[in-house]
């Protein structure tokens, strides 16, 4: 049973526009969320994270929004650039329990010229 769900396998966005990647989770005990970015033939790299005590965290062009009541988070990339084409993994953990990080299946983002 998937605890972290990324229901869109792929997403295409025009360069310069906003990319919005969505993630849903089922475990209400999750209290820390992370996004990883993966290029082909490379391992995932950490992008941005958010604690459940916040509803927004921003780092340059990347912003993560958390809606705890809906068990939903989203990653916004503004403006989208060609180098943003990659697979994005949403991940979640329950701090202080087993500290295990649970990943979603990923969303492949294509930035169109």
Residues engaged in binding other proteins (CB under 8 A)? 2, 4, 9, 32, 34, 36, 41-46, 49, 51, 89, 92-95, 99-106
Provide, rounded to whole angstroms, the least separation between the CB of residue 9 and other proteins. 7
Provide, rounded to whole angstroms, the least separation between the CB of residue 96 and other proteins. 8
Name which of 40 and 113 has its Cβ closer to other proteins: 40
Helix or strand holding residue 11 (H, E): strand 10-14
6 HSE (CA, 13 A, CB side)? 24
* Two tokens, residue 90: 């949403």
Provide, rounded to whole angstroms, the least separation between the CB of residue 53 and other proteins. 12
Q: How many C-beta atoms lie closer than 10 Å to residue 52's C-beta?
A: 17
């Amino acid at each position: 049973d998937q605890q972290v769900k990324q229901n869109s396998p792929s997403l295409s966005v025009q360069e310069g526009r906003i990319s919005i990647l969505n993630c849903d989770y089922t475990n209400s005990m999750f209290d820390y969320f992370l996004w990883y970015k993966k290029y082909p033939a490379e391992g995932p790299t950490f992008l941005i994270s958010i604690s459940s005590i916040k509803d927004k965290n921003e780092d340059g062009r990347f912003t993560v929004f958390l809606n705890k009541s809906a068990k939903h988070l989203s990653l916004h990339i503004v403006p989208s650039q060609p180098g943003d084409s990659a697979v994005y993994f949403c991940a979640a953990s329950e701090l202080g329990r087993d500290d295990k990080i649970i990943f979603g299946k990923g969303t492949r983002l294509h930035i169109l010229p």
